[in-house]
Amino acid sequence: MIVPIQLQRQPQLVSTIIPVYNRPEMVLRAVASVLTQIYRPIEILVVDDGSTDHTPEVLAELEAAHPEEIRVFRQANGGAGLARETGRQAARGAYIQYLDSDDYLLPNKFTDQVAALKAHPECAIAFGTSRLEDADGHVLDATSRHTADPITSLFPLLLLERWWHTHTPLFRRWISDAAGPWPAYRPEDWDLEARMGALRPQLIHCGSTVSVQVDHDSPNRVTRGAQAAYLRDEAIFLPRLHACALLAGVDRHAPEIGLFSRWCFLRARQLDAMGEEEIGGALLALSRYSGSDHSCHSAAWQQSVYRTLRGLIGAPAVGALANLHRPRHPRVAAG
């Protein structure tokens, strides 16, 4: 029998987990942004997700230069979620920070967010404002998404959108462990945070700007990968997101539930048009179920007509017909 290694937890340590794949230059800046944190103690766990360029050599040099603070892991390419899970399992800190290799932290992040958590022991997650920059460092948005808003719980907004970035929050270790492992499918970060939200943790905003999301063109950005593969993954995620929202106490009559129903309806139509009739049918059923208590937001009559046509002319045909006009945002899933 294999006995898992029990790591020695360090009560003040912040563990930063960075997955990387073929980004030797960008990962240098990401790691540097952790090393220049005002706060100590820290550890950095960099997980090389099967890079095929000279990223491993860059990481080896970083580890040799900072042996007390940097540990490097290498594994076969499996995606960001599995790479982050490797880091999570090896982390020794009382606080968990996730950071993608193309983004970076501001020097005050850990100081401000650890202080906020210490001042509010009832809170499991501290977050701050993140800004959006382009690849040349020009600020595109000083308050990206909803990161400047003093939001106190992940839901109900998380039901409709991922309202912060991966690097925005700092987690207490217990909420990270209680949420469970990172999944292999996308959107892996949203899935993890939904499971955290189901536990109803309280959030605290630290009152400062703490991190930067970098918008750039890269073949390694999973958010810009093949749409068909993403839609199949999202079909796994959406029922989980709905269940987590209900566990978090979101009212079945809340407008977010009705809008979620429309999102599922849109995805069902897109999957039908791709020929994924079984998956599309499952999401159509979820759309009907989740919107049953909120017909004014869920487009119930449109779904009824769609289901009838689906039975008459087949899922691919009606899906293609219904998707001639496609809303750009899942929250605006009109028929």
Ranges in the chain, pLDDT < 50: 1-5, 221-224, 328-335
Alpha carbon distance 82, 97 (integer Å): 16
pLDDT digits (tens, 9 = 90+) for 225-250: 578 999 999 999 999 999 999 999 99
Q: What is the C-alpha R_g of the chain?
A: 21
Domain ranges of the chain: 11-222, 251-322
Alpha carbon distance 78, 81 (integer Å): 8
DSSP state of 219: T
Alpha carbon distance 187, 169 (integer Å): 17
pLDDT value of position 321: 86
Q: What is the pTM of this model?
A: 0.91
The backbone torsions φ and ψ at residue 233, rounded to the nearest 5 degrees and listed phi first, read: -65, -40
What CATH class has 11-222?
alpha beta
pLDDT digits (tens, 9 = 90+) for 52-61: 999 999 999 9
